[in-house]
Amino acid sequence: MTMVFRQAQDRDLLYIQRLLARAGLREDDTRNITSYFLVAETIDNEIVGIIGLEPAGDYGLLRSLVLETDYFTPAKGMGFLEAALAYGRKLQLKEVFLITKQAGAFFEQLHFREIEQDEVPTEIKRLSHFQQFENKGVSIFACELLEQSCE
């Protein structure tokens, strides 16, 4: 099934919050950054997934890649992540970071590299999404957008 990616709009806020809550993710700070979420839609305009990319200066923090169970495949997850990275380039971000409890092989396919916490820029460390996972047994990955292709 084909998916189309677009920037989230205010009318998508409730859906974003519900999908994050169903996935067990914190959704209370999405209200102020809805414009930084991308949504995946079917050709029938049914929203089937979300991903957040929160800018902070020259950097961005990828957050909350969630696809509806019926639509998820590794290939679709990869395509959605690639769309978010392309959006980061459009915003002229230099580097994008993400936090995960999962194995990094998925992200390494897109040229993310695992980094230590002391390598994370202050701008990213100040974001509430980063702070909620900081020091909780997670891995941090980074991908330079303007220097090299993450795809």
Q: Check whether 51 has a pLDDT greater than 60.
A: yes
Based on DSSP, count helices (H) and strands (E) in the chain, helices before strands: 5, 7
- For 66, the token pair is 């969630």
| The pLDDT value given to residue 93 | 96
Q: Do strands 59-67 and 95-100 pair parallel, antiparallel, or not at all (unpaired)?
A: parallel
Q: Where are the domains of the chain?
A: 3-144
Q: Is 27 helix (H, G, I), strand (E, B) or coil?
A: coil
CATH of region 3-144 = 3.40.630.30
pTM: 0.85
> Among 123, 129, 126, 147, which Cα is nearest to 37's?
129
pLDDT digits (tens, 9 = 90+) for 73-126: 888 888 888 889 999 999 999 999 999 887 677 788 888 999 999 999 999 999
Residue 113 φ then ψ, to 5°: -125, 145
